Amino acid sequence: MKRFFYIFVCVLAIAFNGNTQQRVVVNGLRVCEFYSREQMYEALGGEPDKAEESVEFKGFYDFHYGKDVFYWNNNYTPNENGLDHYFGGCLIYTDRYVVFDSIRVGDPISKLKTVPGMTEDYPCKYKDGKCVGGGYVEWYQSEELRRDGIDVFFYYDESTQKINCIGIFYIFL
């Protein structure tokens, strides 16, 4: 019964998040779209250095390309093309990958102004001279779709104002 409920929630979440998923693209891969393992590898530059299956969620994989990690998640129910895994997000630390066809790690954080949508800046909060939170900009398609199940974060260095990590997460539960 738990498995059925989990599958039902995943399918509903994907169905209701169609609008934004079309907008969040990494190296040509749309977040929450279905891809084969080969399609993922092709878009990301070949076979990963390491592919790990989640211990907690069978069929959920992390593809490691150096420090960069991409998530390929099992939907349990195949789509019309027979594919049952979708691109579930990533953590990018290098300039090897492009988000929204224009943004890379190393770019100035101000470049986000060229991407359609809305942003909210969360500057670092300091305690004893150390950043203890913040230092990122959250992107979302619109105010109505702000909490749509996909989180897109651009972490940046406050002194250089350059992006040092991009995190994209599909919240499936």
pLDDT digits (tens, 9 = 90+) for 119-141: 999 998 888 888 877 899 999 87
Of 118 and 163, which is predicted with more confidence?
163
E-strand ranges in the chain read: 25-26, 29-30, 50-53, 61-65, 68-74, 85-92, 118-122, 125-127, 130-133, 136-140, 150-157, 162-170
Q: 10 Å Cβ neighbour count for 106? A: 11
Per-residue model confidence (pLDDT) at position 147:
60
pTM of the model: 0.82
Q: Would you report the helix, strand and coil content of the chain in percent, each value rounded to 5?
A: 20, 40, 45
Per-residue model confidence (pLDDT) at position 27:
97
